[in-house]
A and B are shown apart, each in its own frame.
Chain A
């Protein structure tokens, strides 16, 4: 009782303190310093219509590389924590025909939609992370509906490593051509897609990077799911 009361009082104090801080922020007023620069120059400098992805992949691409690394470490960490010599699915009951057939019909659509999200990252909201998560959802559906389903491990691990490396290589090519890491050589030097901004084949290397990220996130999250649904079996 005393513990709970103390916790509530502490939370109230922290909440009041945060509210005080936020009260000084002038909402709805034009306070953009860097933001205005992004909005003014995003099209000519990156070829992307979606300013958010241009910032995430182009202006501050280093952060995104860091995020991909964090995800990779999370996946590796789950794998290391749950490592067992022999693991198997131990689910006992198969889903009803409604569940399994529904999953069969949905999986291709979910995958196509995931690909649609990450390929249109420079045009519409979304990008590599939501697209990859959507693709992982397709595999989650398969895991939930079928008691024996397993992702093709060998292929997944290879794809995961290869696309991660491709991301770094794309960045290193930029370093060689333009002088800094993740320099957008496709847009700056080739002017690829310069005449059709707003259509699919534009946006410099954003669609390329987002395809890479989409595949990486998709395979990684699927791997995490795989690790979590399996249990050790004693022989």
Chain B
């Protein structure tokens, strides 16, 4: 995805900051709204260059809808993964088989990679150690049999299918 025009990036930053201001103040007092708008305009003028590269294109309805749908999806994955880790801790045999695995991602944008890395880390059992281009190095609490192969390609395929793919189908649409 190429870089959007400056005006588009600036407006997008203003909109996001103003939404944050609404959440912070939680009031519809015209004084607060007016001043929040002024502050958003000022702060965005200083920071829009580093904040966004794709600008208003981020507010495409399909992307917003996927982003909203991603929240419950991710929370559910997080709850299930937490229960799984609790099970491993409480189980008398403590079934852990830790290892560092190599995944590949189909995401292109930096923000998408950040979101994927954070999603992986926030679902217990997997921690992102490093991200390098489209390579993810992940510490896994239970490396399944299909990933325990000598062949690099098969290993990457199995690990990616288990770790990155479930999030990617959403993040690909949201961030590209």
Residue positions of A touching B, CB distance < 8 A: 96-98, 100-102, 104-105, 107-109, 111-113, 115-116, 119, 142, 196, 199-201
Contact = CB atoms under 8 A, between A and B. Distances in A.
Given A97-B110, A108-B13, A109-B20, 20 more contacts: A96-B131, A97-B114, A98-B113, A98-B118, A98-B128, A98-B131, A101-B114, A104-B50, A104-B110, A105-B111, A105-B114, A111-B47, A112-B17, A115-B42, A116-B24, A119-B35, A119-B39, A142-B50, A199-B31, A200-B31
Given A101-B110, A101-B113, A112-B21, A107 B47 contact: yes
A234 B119 CA distance: 45
Nearest to A102: B114
B76 to A, nearest CB: 24
A100 B48 CA distance: 15
B51 A96 contact: no
Question: 5 nearest interchain CB pairs?
Answer: A108-B47, A101-B114, A200-B31, A101-B110, A104-B50
Contacts of A113: 24
Nearest to A109: B20
A109 B46 CA distance: 12
Interface of B is mostly: helix
Contacts of A116: 21, 24-25, 39
A60 to B, nearest CB: 27
A116 B114 CA distance: 27
A108 B17 contact: yes
B29 A105 contact: no
B111 A101 contact: yes
Interface string B104-117: 00000011011001
Contacts of B35: 119, 200
15 contacts: A96-B130, A96-B132, A97-B110, A97-B117, A98-B128, A98-B131, A101-B114, A102-B114, A108-B16, A112-B17, A112-B39, A116-B25, A199-B31, A199-B32, A200-B31
Given A98-B117, A119-B35, A119-B39, A107 B51 contact: yes
Interface in B86-101: none
A94 to B, nearest CB: 12
A97 B105 CA distance: 14
B44 interface: yes
B122 to A, nearest CB: 12
A108 B25 CA distance: 17
Given A101-B114, A116-B24, A108 B131 contact: no
B79 interface: no
B44 to A, nearest CB: 7
Contacts of B114: 97-98, 101-102, 105
A22 to B, nearest CB: 39
Contacts of B43: 108, 111-112, 115
A111 B17 CA distance: 10
B50 A107 contact: yes
B87 to A, nearest CB: 29
B123 interface: no
B167 to A, nearest CB: 15
B164 interface: no
A163 B147 CA distance: 61
